[in-house]
A = this chain, B = another copy of it.
Amino acid sequence: MSLIVQKYGGTSVGTAERIRNVAKRVARFHRDGHQLVVVVSAMAGETNRLLALTKELSANPDPREVDVVAATGEQVTIGLLAIALREMGVQARSYTGAQVRILTDNAHTKARILEIDEARIRDDLAKGLVVVVAGFQGVDKEGNVTTLGRGGSDTSGVALAAALKADECQIYTDVDGVYTTDPRIVPEARRLERITFEEMLELASQGSKVLQIRSVEFAGKYMVRLRVLSSFEDADAASTGTLITYEEDDDMEQAIISGIAFNRDEAKISVMGVEDRPGIAYAILGPIAAANIDVDMIVQNIGASGHTDFSFTVNRSEYQKALGVLNAERDRKHFEAREIIGDNRIAKVSVVGIGMRSHVGLASKMFKALAGEGINIQMISTSEIKIAVVIDEKYLELAVRVLHKAFELEKGPDAA
């Protein structure tokens, strides 16, 4: 008998019929003797509908009250799922974040979980009840309703699994696991049986949208065994999805490269011919940060004759704003530069794999594959388990396909 936390997202509970399907799967696990805590999101579209109502009344609605409104989405789902379970003869009880008590800080609309009182849930589980908990929400120490921000239900699930020391946290979504890359681009893309937290973090932050990045960090920190599965498969199918592990399993055939992520939401800005002196990076990026613009990749080339070129990427929607900030700074003589140029028709492609630590030559293999198709690399950035390149947007699909093939990702770890 295991204690399993299952989390179902908005599309998985989008209609009464789908809620009934979720209940069927939960009932099967319960029948098999497992203890179950089920975390659910709001029905698909509900959170957007509720937030739109708040926006109708104020362009800048009070965050405390936005949370009061938004938290109702998940509250509806927990009641409905408990009803569906009872209809199938499974005793179930629902709890809001406040009722559990999922204590958070008071940063409304983006609160962080501080503590979970798991006593009530343990009592119910001991009585054989299935416990249904509202994701995305909590309560601060004054009793105000808080929400964790978009995708926060994943975090709720992982946090509950950590508090309860659950054997596994299963994240049900509309895909059946983590793939080597997007199957819409590479039909041969393969579902990964396992992936490490570090790889998952790199894939997530590089644009793979399967899991919310905070929940992955949380799972890694508290060593929660995390599994991504599809909620649209037959409830009786024994799909295994993708297991996200916190250890590098020695028994496991280790793939060198796990997957290829990509992102077309970025834009590149280059400040050309700036003085190569200490403080220049801060002179350029300080005002960008002050304007609340997130920066992703940062590259600075070796300078010649006391000058250098400095490039970075920002979210495409903030491209014009970032250019405006830099031009204003230069006009105020906060730094000197020959030219400030940008390009918002770029894409980022990343090759991610824990095996990169112990294998040399992967970068050159990547560059060779891209060169073979005549794809020019505009920027390069690396981490211990990732190589990311910026290329012209129009080559994105081609680059992903070429890299998927070059690293033989369709073949799986045994063959790699």
Tell me the A199-233 residues at the B interface (CB within 8 Å): none
Interfacial residues of chain A within 82-110, with CB under 8 A of chain B in the complex: 82-84, 86-87, 93-94, 96, 98-99
Closest to A50 in B: B76
Shortest beta-carbon distance from A335 to chain B in Å: 40
A75-B68, A75-B75 known; A80 and B62 CB under 8 Å? no
Q: Does A275 contact B (CB under 8 A)?
A: no
Contact assessment for B69 and A79 in the assembled complex, using a CB-CB cutoff below 8 Å:
yes
> Does A58 make an interface contact (CB < 8 A)?
yes
User: What residue of chain B has the Cβ atom nearest to residue A54's Cβ?
Assistant: B83
> If the complex has contacts A16-B53, A68-B94, are A62 and B76 also in contact, measured as CB distance less than 8 A?
no
- The residue of chain B having its C-beta at the shortest distance from the C-beta of A77 within the complex is B69
Contact of A57 among B75, B80, B94 (CB under 8 A): B80
Q: Which of B58, B75, B79, B94 contacts A84 (CB 8 A)?
A: B58
Given the interface pairs A16-B53, A143-B99, the reply to whether A79 lies near B58 with Cβ below 8 Å is no
**A69 close to B62 (CB less than 8 A):** no
* Chain B residue at smallest Cβ distance from A98: B98
Complex CA–CA separation, A96 to B78 (angstroms): 18
Question: How near does chain B come to A337, taking the closest CB pair, in angstroms?
Answer: 42
Q: How far is the CA of A283 from the CA of B187 in the complex (A)?
A: 77
Residues of B within 8 Å of A62, CB to CB, are 82-83, 86
* Interface residues in A108-162 (C-beta closer than 8 Å to B): 143-145
Give, as a whole number of angstroms, the nearest-CB distance from A217 to chain B.
30
Chain B: minimal CB distance from A50 (Å)? 7
Count of chain A residues near B, Cβ 8 A: 37
Answer yes or no: A71 CB below 8 A from chain B CBs: yes
Task: Give every chain B residue within 8 A of A72 (Cβ-Cβ).
Answer: 72, 75-76
Chain B residues lying within 8 Å of A67, measured Cβ to Cβ, are 79
> Which of chain A's residues 38-88 have a Cβ closer than 8 Å to chain B?
50, 53-54, 56-58, 61-62, 64-69, 71-72, 75-76, 78-80, 82-84, 86-87
Q: A20: CB under 8 A from chain B?
A: yes
* Interface pair B68/A82, CB less than 8 Å apart: yes
CB-nearest residue of chain B to A73: B72
> What residues of B have a CB within 8 angstroms of the CB of A96 in the complex?
68, 145
Say whether B82 contacts A53, CB under 8 Å: no
B93 touches A57 (CB 8 A): no
The answer to whether the Cβ of A370 comes within 8 Å of any Cβ in the partner chain is: no
Which one of B61, B71, B93 contacts A83 once the chains associate, using CB atoms below 8 Å?
A: B61
Partner pick for A65 among B64, B86, B98, CB 8 A cutoff = B86
Q: Does A19 contact B (CB under 8 A)?
A: yes
Q: Which of A50, A65, A79, A144 has the most CB of B within 10 A?
A: A79
Given A68-B75, A82-B62, A143-B99: A16 in contact with B56 (beta carbons within 8 A):
yes
**A69 / chain B contacts, CB cutoff of 8 Å:** 75-76, 79-80, 83
Write the A319-363 contact mask toward B (1 if CB under 8 angstroms, else 0): 000000000000000000000000000000000000000000000
Task: Report the Cα distance A67→B96, complex, angstroms.
Answer: 12
A146: min CB distance to chain B, Å? 13
CA of A401 to CA of B12 in the docked complex: distance in angstroms?
57
Q: B residues within 8 A CB of A144?
A: 99
Does B143 contact A57, Cβ atoms closer than 8 Å?
no
Q: List 25 A-B contacts (CB under 8 A).
A: A16-B53, A16-B57, A19-B57, A53-B76, A54-B80, A54-B83, A57-B80, A57-B83, A58-B84, A58-B86, A61-B86, A62-B83, A62-B86, A65-B83, A65-B86, A68-B75, A68-B94, A68-B96, A69-B76, A69-B80, A72-B72, A72-B75, A75-B75, A96-B145, A98-B98
Identify the A interface with B (CB < 8 A): 16, 19-20, 50, 53-54, 56-58, 61-62, 64-69, 71-72, 75-76, 78-80, 82-84, 86-87, 93-94, 96, 98-99, 143-145
| Top 5 closest pairs, chain A to chain B, by CB | A68-B79, A69-B79, A72-B72, A16-B56, A58-B87
